[in-house]
Amino acid sequence: MRLVLLAAVAFAALVAHQRPDWVEQVQGGARLVAARLGDVAPFAADRRSTAARAPEREPDRTQALAAIGRAADAQMDAQAAEDPTARDRVTALLRAAAATMAGSEAMGEFRAMTEARARVADLRERAAAARIAGGDATTAEAQLTRAGAELARLTDAFVGRLAALGVPISRDAAENLAVSANGDDVVALLAAYANVERLEGELRASVAGAADNEALLRRTYAVHATLLAVLETVQAEVVSRIDNLYLPGSPRWTGRRGTSAPTRRAASARSATPGCARRSTPTCVRRT
């Protein structure tokens, strides 16, 4: 994947030098780069995960192309700019684009479902405490019943949203995903794949009748390469978070990296990738 992306970026850099607007503004190249990358600062400061930043709706075509376009332009400009921070700016824009492409209604339902689960757990504890104390648990039990019904509704809604992304799963699998440590990361990853696939289809349709439009084809190729970079960004983050935050022996658990990092990374990749081989893993779901 990295070799493909490097080749794509190199081609995109060549295209950048061939663009008339670049040639006309070559004297002010540094200022042009600064202007194009000037909106990176807000994203660079946000170190939350892609899942935490993902909107609760799918991006429309305009939003997606705007986010991808900024990252594509930054990649091309970084090849020409003698700026040591250019790659950091590209990374920030790719992370911003990743968050945009990871948005979905499924994420909104997932967040609502996890909040409802916490509410049910709290009410269950209150009802149990009231019974143990010999008090009246009627009110808490009534609230628990209503909260349980709402959780069931939200779980069904989440299953439906995932099916709309091309990931049909059972209700039990949805509940397992809700209680897993990286459930939101998996939902973000699935949404990113689905949204990129949809946008790629729209791009193919838009250039189907424009085979002689060289400028459009070059721009479409640059967007395609950037979409691959976005998917790599999301995937790498999910694997890294599993490897460094969730697995026993990770830095979060021990304060240092254990000797089994390659094994942990291999397991992370399997559990984080849609359609992975380990079918027994709760967060391993297959896209269709």
287 near 191, Cβ under 8 Å? no
Tens-digit pLDDT profile for residues 155-206: 999 999 999 999 999 999 999 999 998 999 999 999 999 999 999 988 888 7
81 near 29, Cβ under 8 Å? yes
CA–CA distance, 69 with 64 (Å, rounded to integer): 8
The confidence score (pLDDT) of residue 260 equals 46
Q: Give the number of other Cβ atoms within 10 Å of residue 1's Cβ.
A: 11
CA–CA distance, 39 with 2 (Å, rounded to integer): 26
Tens-digit pLDDT profile for residues 245-283: 888 776 666 654 444 444 444 444 444 444 444 333 434
**In this structure, are 100 and 122 located in the same domain?**
no
Asked if the structure places residue 83 within a domain, the reply is yes
DSSP string, 110-137: HHHHHHHHHHHHHHHHHHHHHHHTTS--
CA–CA distance, 74 with 81 (Å, rounded to integer): 10
**In this structure, are 76 and 128 located in the same domain?**
no
The confidence score (pLDDT) of residue 81 equals 66
What range defines the domain where residue 58 resides? 2-104+184-231
Q: Copy the structure tokens of residue 256.
A: 């240092």
CA–CA distance, 34 with 37 (Å, rounded to integer): 5
Asked if the structure places residue 218 within a domain, the reply is yes
Asked if the structure places residue 171 within a domain, the reply is no
pLDDT above 80: residue 224: yes
**In this structure, are 151 and 18 located in the same domain?**
no
- Tally DSSP H helices, then E strands, for the chain: 14, 0
The confidence score (pLDDT) of residue 274 equals 47
16 near 64, Cβ under 8 Å? no
Asked if the structure places residue 258 within a domain, the reply is no
The confidence score (pLDDT) of residue 75 equals 81
Tens-digit pLDDT profile for residues 1-58: 443 333 433 333 333 333 334 323 333 333 333 333 334 344 445 688 999 999 999 9
What does the radius of gyration of the chain's CA atoms come to, in whole angstroms? Answer: 23
Asked if the structure places residue 283 within a domain, the reply is no
**In this structure, are 87 and 48 located in the same domain?**
yes
**In this structure, are 208 and 87 located in the same domain?**
yes
Tens-digit pLDDT profile for residues 104-124: 999 999 999 999 999 999 999
Q: Which amino acid is at 287?
A: R
